[in-house]
Chain A
Amino acid sequence: MKKFWAVMVARNKEFLRDRASLGWNLFFPVLVLFGFSFISSGNQATFKVAVLGGVPTSADRAEFYDTHHVQFVAVGSLDEAMRKVGQHRFDMLIDPGESPRYWINSSSSKGYLVERVLWGSSPPGHYHKETVEGREIRYIDWLIPGLLSMNMTFSAMFGVGFVMVRYRKMGVLRRLKATPLSAFQFLSAQVASRLILIVGATVLVYVGSNLILHFQMVGSYFSLISIFLLGSVCMVSLGLLMAARTASEELAGGILNLVTMPMMFLSGVWFSLDGAPGWVRGIAQALPLTHINDAARAVMTDGASFAAVLPDVAVLAAMTMVFLALGAWTFRWE
């Protein structure tokens, strides 16, 4: 325990004194976040209207469906669609059935405009109006869980993986191997140190940017923290596994990029994979970052309970076990 503690403290000092990478760890996510908050504030002016069961195909369908600059999206679940109206992800929801109805969010300006268009293109009293309450989910709100978990991923993979390879190359590991320090003590200290730093950085970034951007957080902090903690352990384990053998920084850099790059694009950090082909979503399911994103986003924007995100949590836990076991098994000091 004494050895574990000493190695962990040494690693923390090393990190905290490395101003450049410390700054980068905190600065990068904030930079991205604010960048996107400016970009997405100049919104594109298309409207999204959800149609239950899809747009009618009959020749005598309402003229409304031919409105330009409105994207009509077919939806199957009324509850799901109503929730999205509440989050401003749809500007309006129409049920064209026997007794036609529509829903808009009373706080949405775009909803108000689409409603005017609907009135102007259909007989008076044809639709029954309903309203949904809810706060808008901005792109920023949607992005923040992904951004935090992405930062976590980089910090874990490069902060553990890359450093381990550098230690091996420089002979740090060789020197430690000659002491009574065991591989397990050494590795667990690295993991613990990195976890502390990730948690610290994540909390700082979260609290700091929330002061200005006020993102949506409707779920429980307990669930969110649990997901992020497990996610960090999972990513650190993956970093250890990637760096278990090689002493070449170039090779390690390549391997780490090979693993992180697909996660950047396929784990739904920047955009939703809802409309992506099945095989892409299949690959995404094999990436740990997807599960961190999905679970964290469900908690933050939809207020999902811990039980609801349990499948993602279980997959993360299983992946962590596999990465840790393989990483410890393949680890070499030299």
Chain B
Amino acid sequence: MPPILAVRHLTKDYPEVRAVDDLSLKVREGICFGLLGPNGAGKTTTVEIMEGVVEQTSGEVLYRDRPRDRAFKNEVGIQFQSTSLQDYLTVREVLELFGSFYPRNLPFDEVVSLCALGDFLDRDHRKLSGGQRQRVMLGLALVNDPALVFLDEPTTGLDPQARRNFWELVREIRRRGKTILLTTHYMEEAYELCDEIAIMDHGRLIAQGSPRDLLRRQFEGSVVSLPQEDLALPEDYPWPTYQRDGRIEIQTNDVNATLAQLLRDQVSLEHLTVKSRTLEDLFLELTGHELRA
């Protein structure tokens, strides 16, 4: 089966900056694909080129192995990072308006129950909470029963509870066999939701795979963390180290060896912690800087 979406050698230049730099990737049908990276990594530009909202400088985008045609817009659903709707319309009216743009609709009641919009259907869409608003935007992305759904940082700015609720919606959409392409700068979100992750930084793809694969491939091991003042690092330390939040983190595949080294160096182990690696650590290793920096 061909990938539902593929980009090849995608590049986008803005006057000041190259936002996307020779990016190639494939999205298999039916999965939740996460595009992960810090702010300014080029995630949004990449998905907007995929959506057909932004024109690429060079490279190509293929939908089911073919260049996108007029029908493409009927088969995808899009949730933008920040857009607005016509004023003074209720949630119901907005859904009906957008439904009228498409030849095929998901039944209205299904959109409402799927996105849990029932409580505020007749409210002005401008008078909703952040989480409710994101659910309406998700509803708009689903009105045409799309095969492929783009979600651009859908949970940014939501409180933890609203974020978890939203994740549940995304899982439900995924269970219905839709392909989801999600951008996020939350590692946890990518780990929770995605079958496959591509990590971007400075417009380039720096790693790709399933969350667990990525962790296993790049990080069989743990992070040993110490307060900065407890350890004076020599130039040629045997393991990669990073400084974060006033602590030094040593990334190691052999905790015994690392602890033995620390004991030899007579370092105080009083405030030492050992933890398994997370995607955050992976990102740090790959890019040399923190995700939310």
Contacts and interface: CB of A to CB of B under 8 A. Distances in A.
A225 interface: no
A175 B85 contact: yes
B87 A14 contact: yes
B266 interface: no
A180 B101 CA distance: 6
Nearest to B150: A178
A11 interface: yes
B101 A179 contact: yes
A32 interface: no
Contact of A10 (B84, B97, B102): B97
A61 interface: no
A13 B74 contact: no
Interface string B16-48: 000000000000000000000000000000000
B51 A13 contact: no
A6 B89 CA distance: 12
State the main secondary structure of chain A at its contact with B: helix
B93 interface: yes
Contact of A18 (B82, B87, B102): B87
A174 B83 contact: yes
State the main secondary structure of chain B at its contact with A: loop
Could you say which interface size class chain B belongs to? 20 to 34
A208 interface: no
B100 A2 contact: yes
Contact of A13 (B83, B93, B100): B93
Nearest to A181: B101
Contacts, number: 60
A172 B83 contact: yes
Given A10-B89, A18-B88, A180-B102, A171 B73 contact: no
A178 B100 CA distance: 14
Contacts of A283: none
B97 A7 contact: yes
Interface string B68-83: 0010011000101011
B288 to A, nearest CB: 34
B53 interface: yes
Contacts of A177: 53
Contacts of B80: 171, 174-175, 178
12 contacts: A3-B100, A14-B86, A14-B88, A17-B88, A18-B87, A172-B85, A174-B53, A175-B80, A178-B52, A178-B53, A178-B73, A180-B73
Interface of A: 2-3, 5-7, 10-11, 13-14, 17-18, 167, 170-172, 174-175, 177-181
Given A175-B80, A180-B70, 18 more contacts: A2-B100, A6-B97, A14-B87, A167-B86, A170-B83, A171-B80, A174-B80, A175-B84, A175-B140, A177-B53, A178-B51, A178-B52, A178-B73, A178-B78, A178-B80, A179-B102, A180-B101, A181-B101
